[in-house]
Structure 1
Amino acid sequence: MAISDATRKVLWARSHNRCAICRALLAVDADSADLPWLILGEEAHIITRKPGGPRGMEGDRARPYEYENLILLCADDHKRVDLQPDVYRAADLRGCKLAHERWAEEKFAGEAEEPIRLVKAPDEDSIPMQPVATGAAGWGLLVGSGL
């Protein structure tokens, strides 16, 4: 079994493209023309499905791919939490995930209030028009035109 598309989308959406620990960006533009972006985020298990794995004895391993058992991390933090399960316990990671999602929701809450209106792209031959309400605005257009 694997993480469902719906679970993956919710995990990334609620994390707002940030690592739950260090808040690093997790999907960024690539430097190569062959690759449009780099996915740096990793969907980490809070409790592994294996008894001997990180935090494997800390709780229910029956549903390892459910949203409640996943946290979005950068590669460094994923490695860090899996190599130090005594430091990064399941309850701590759940608390970190919840705190991160609250932080992200508060940080970006005001950005979605104003709906974005569809703006028709100008034709290639058209000249974009700007309203001129004052003489100063008109003068600014003339000065910036290179005439």
Structure 2
Amino acid sequence: MQFDAALAAQDTFRRAEAELGSDWDTAVELEDTFSSNAGATAREAYERLLSLATRHPDAHSFQAFCIYITWQQVTEETIARHFETGLKLCEAYLVSREAKDQLDINYVTELYESFRAGLGLEEEDEIQVEFRKDTPKGGD
């Protein structure tokens, strides 16, 4: 990968405050638990962060944050479930046509390919082909 997912997670998490409104304090508590622990405690905080993300589907920075921490989960515990979760999160993020940070789009696209490779899915699927067609190039 051409970027550090942990650093990207920190950046997007800071940007997510405005998106989460009254859930921000909960997110901060969960992120702190996730970041400062390992094993079952971190996994539970991670699952609760993903649950919080389902309540905020339009919180693009927070969605990207969840994708980045899912990659951290993959590196901590390399199991198919984490790759599948990452793939699902990336697809939902990339399919949405709403405005997002271009750097996050690039990073999520790279992680999407990594999650697919981790599951042995080497060929592009329809979602990725459509996303590439719809992504503005250079001076568009």
Q: TM-score range by the shorter chain?
A: under 0.3
More helix by share: 2
TM-score (norm 2): 0.26
* TM-score, length-scaled by structure 1: 0.25
